[in-house]
Amino acid sequence: MRRDIFQAIADPTRRAIIALIALQAMTPNSIADNFNTTRQAVSKHLRILTECELIKQEQKGREIYYSLQIEKMKEIDKWLEQFRKIWETRFNQLDDLLATIKKTTK
């Protein structure tokens, strides 16, 4: 079953895992050491992130390392961009309104 990337980032633990492995590839055990949860729970989160193609796994010797798929993160950024433009427009309108109010109160 292919999961949606937004479903993956909805969970705070998965977002924390993404932040961790954005800096460097990590093994499941080293990832789990950063959380107050079971190794199995972390493995479930890793599986979901892998299914969404947000992270990839690479075998190095007997260890598996997980790393971030930065290209997939761009899909999230592209979706957010439409809202960023709306927010910027509204902030600019608010700036204009505040400047007008400030001029009239002097």
Q: Distance between alpha carbon 50 and the CA centroid of its chain, in Å?
A: 13
Q: Give the pTM.
A: 0.76
For residue 13, give the 3-state DSSP assignment.
Answer: helix
Is the distance from CB of 48 to CB of 3 less than 8 angstroms?
A: yes
Burial of 94 (0-12, 13-18, 19+ CB in 10 A): exposed
**Domain extent listing, the chain:** 1-68, 71-106
- What's the CATH number for 1-68? 1.10.10.10
Flag whether pLDDT at 1 surpasses 70: no
Q: Which residue has the higher pLDDT, 66 or 75?
A: 66
pLDDT, averaged across the chain: 91
Rounded Cα distance between 66 and 29, Å, is: 11
